[in-house]
């Protein structure tokens, strides 16, 4: 991925840049809002990572300016301002996601991947999600593995749908909670783990090759059985 990082805290920036480059992404780093804006408009990036508070031009204004030119590159806000209203402000300005400092790198990674592959428009046409031998019919809300129907509870269905829509990518616990329940809230991690272990029992019955994987320190992802 081609990434633009606008962040004035050198240590944070170095860490993000180094970590992202280690996993094979190209990162362009700028330490103030003005230069960042110029760069964002001059070149094409897959995702922009913008700190909320920046010298010269603050993050909100940078994003607003970028959106004003019609540029729709996905933007991920980084911020130490974690309150819900700050988050709403960021999203209203045109950002696509918001990550509060301090954050786990795996969370950042997962969100970046989700953003970079976010299709420009909502996929309303899709009625079926498939991975390997697992099929999800979005209309009838039925799930089959190897033609055997799997009965899922309401939220289990939604969790699986989220994973399928982002197959091959890590979904963090927070992302799953927020996307499925639609609330922004904090909760102990084990709440979602119980859901996932139930889901796993249903889609990966004993004897089958597992599709639902736990990614240590990060979250969950679904992949076609090898």
Partner 1 sequence: MKQRFSLIKSYIGRLILIYGLAVILALGALFYFRDTLATLQVDSYAKPLVNREVSYFRSVYEKRGLRDLIEILEDYRGQPERGFDYALIKDAALISGSKGLFAPRPMIFGQPFPFFEMHSFKGPENILAPENILPHDFIQSRENNSSGDGFIEMLPSPGGPPEFLEFSEIITMPNDIVGPFNFMGQNHILIESVHLGEGVMLMAAFDTRSFENPSVFLNRILIGLCLLIIAGFITTTFIGWKIHTRLSGINKTASDILQHNDLSRRIPAGSGGSEFDLLSRNLNDMLEGIEQKLEDMRQLSNNIAHDLRTPLTILRNRLETLGKNVNTTEDEREKALLHMDGILETFNAILRISNLESGSAQLHKENINLPEMIQDVIDLYAPLAMKKKQALGHELDDLVIYADRNLLFQALANIIDNAVKYTPESGKIMISAEEKPLSLEIYIDDTGTGIPADKLDKVLTRYERLDHSRTTSGHGLGLSLVKAIMDAHNGQLNLTNHAGGLRVNLSFTRPHRT
**Binding partner 1 by CB under 8 A: which of 195, 219, 221, 222?**
195
> Looking at beta carbons only, is 38 or 190 nearer to partner 1?
190
Residue 22 sits in the site that holds partner 1 (CB under 8 A): no
**Binding partner 1 by CB under 8 A: which of 57, 65, 104, 138?**
104
> Looking at beta carbons only, is 47 or 60 nearer to partner 1?
60
Kindly state the smallest distance separating residue 68's Cβ from partner 1, in Å.
25
> Looking at beta carbons only, is 180 or 211 nearer to partner 1?
180
Residue labelled with tokens 């390997």: 132
> Looking at beta carbons only, is 147 or 183 nearer to partner 1?
183
Q: Going residue by residue from 68 to 87, which x/- string records binding to partner 1, judged by CB under 8 A?
A: --------------xxxx--
Residue 198 sits in the site that holds partner 1 (CB under 8 A): yes
Kindly state the smallest distance separating residue 190's Cβ from partner 1, in Å.
7
Distance between CA 42 and CA 44 in Å, rounded? 7
> Looking at beta carbons only, is 26 or 190 nearer to partner 1?
190
> Looking at beta carbons only, is 120 or 183 nearer to partner 1?
183
Kindly state the smallest distance separating residue 173's Cβ from partner 1, in Å.
10
> Looking at beta carbons only, is 47 or 199 nearer to partner 1?
199
For every residue of the chain, DSSP letters joined together read -EEEEE-S-HHHHHHHHHHHHHTT-EEEEESSHHHHHHHHHHS--SEEEEESS-SSS-HHHHHHHHHHTT----EEEEES--SHHHHHHHHHTT-SEEEESS--HHHHHHHHHHHHT--SS---S--EEEETTEEEETTTTEEEETTEEE---HHHHHHHHHHHHTTTS-EEHHHHHHHHH-------HHHHHHHHHHHHHHHS-TTSPP-EEEETTTEEEE----
Tokens (6 digits) for 13: 């920036």
Residues from 128 through 187 that contact partner 1 (CB under 8 A):
153-155, 177, 181-187
175 in Cβ contact with 111 (< 8 Å): yes
162 in Cβ contact with 180 (< 8 Å): yes
Residues from 204 through 223 that contact partner 1 (CB under 8 A):
216-217
Interface ranges with partner 1 (CB under 8 A): 82-85, 88, 100, 102, 104, 153-155, 177, 181-191, 194-195, 197-198, 216-217
């Amino acid at each position: 991925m081609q990434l633009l990082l606008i962040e004035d805290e050198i240590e944070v920036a170095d860490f993000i840049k180094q970590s992202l480059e280690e996993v094979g992404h190209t990162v362009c780093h700028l330490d103030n809002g003005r230069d960042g804006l110029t760069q964002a408009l001059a070149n094409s990036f897959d995702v922009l990572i913008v700190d909320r508070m920046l010298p010269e031009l603050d993050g909100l204004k940078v994003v607003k300016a970028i959106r004003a030119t019609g540029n729709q590159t996905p933007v991920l806000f980084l911020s130490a301002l974690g309150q819900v209203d700050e988050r709403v402000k960021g999203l209203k300005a045109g950002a696509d996601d918001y990550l509060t400092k301090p954050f786990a790198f795996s969370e950042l990674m997962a969100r970046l991947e989700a953003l970079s592959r976010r299709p420009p428009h909502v996929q309303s046409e899709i009625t079926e999600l498939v991975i390997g031998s697992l099929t999800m019919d979005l209309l009838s809300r039925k799930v089959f593995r190897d033609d055997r129907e799997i009965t899922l509870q309401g939220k289990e269905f939604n969790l699986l749908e989220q994973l399928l829509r982002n197959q091959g990518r890590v979904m963090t616990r927070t992302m799953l909670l927020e996307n499925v329940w639609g609330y922004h809230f904090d909760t102990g991690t084990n709440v979602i783990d119980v859901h996932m272990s139930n889901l796993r029992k249903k889609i990966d019955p004993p004897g089958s090759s597992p599709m639902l994987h736990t990614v240590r320190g990060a979250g969950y992802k679904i992949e076609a059985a090898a």
